[in-house]
Amino acid sequence: MTSTSAHATQTVRLCHLYPSLMNIYADRGNISVIARRLQWRGFGLAIDEVGLGDDLAPDAHDLYYLGGGQDRDQNLVAADLITKASVLRGAADNGAAQLYVCGGIQLAGHGYETVDGQYLEGTGVLDLDTVAGDTRLTGDLVIRADLDGDDVTIVGYENHAGRTYLGTAVDPLGRVVSGHGNNGTDRLEGARRDHVIGTYLHGPLLPRNPVVADLLLTWALEHRYGSTELRPLDDTLELSAHAVAIERAGQAR
């Protein structure tokens, strides 16, 4: 386990799960966005990189992140993640923020059945199940989402063989405007419960969707310090990238 920290009056404690194994499609960029958006507002960030065999202490973090990985790496992670499942479920119940991307959302559910019939048990943080399809769902993805009362557009890129189906204890993150989403049929994308978000949107997700980044940061700060209001930032560059992604997907702004 490795740790870095910044000096500030208030510091978010981030748990980055399996960064060396679950980090495809430039998703480490999500961590950079979290760090910068906190720094620009005068907050600190302490990062614990938690890998295979590392202990995960209860209530030690305000924000948890798990990205996607290759099949072999995901298989390795799945077996280890089970040992951390009760801590992650407890953290979700206690209001900590959690973000699961691509392979992350699959392992945050009840389980994932691979194309060869192997069943990878998940953490059960999210009420969903995933089974591998015989084709990949790829391309630009645009969804509409209700984020704590705000109707927003979220953009990204998807590339997954998994078909994810939601249970009754979660809501979709959003509804597909362009792309495939969770399974290519029900037009739903991602999953949401409390302060937990799971999604197939990567590329990475947060640089082009500052509203999602700030929602996660608000949840994380509130978990540690109570009610928090973030100072607005100049997101001209981020929103420009957001608009380009929408246009590339063939959608009007």
Give yes or no: 195 in active site: no
Nearest alpha carbon to residue 183 among 130, 104, 239, 231: 130
Asked whether the bond before 19 is cis by omega within 30 degrees of 0, the reply is no
C-alpha distances (whole Å) from 230 to each of 41, 72, 96, 135 are 8, 39, 17, 42
Give yes or no: 202 in active site: yes
> What 3-state DSSP class applies to 117?
coil
**Side chain identity at 253, as an amino acid letter?**
R
61, 202, 223, 242: the catalytic one is 202
102, 160, 223, 242: the catalytic one is 102
DSSP per residue over 206-219, as a string? GGG-HHHHHHHHHH
Q: Tokens 């996607």 appear where?
A: 68
Euclidean distance between CA atoms 189 and 241, whole angstroms:
21
Residue numbers annotated as active site = 102, 202
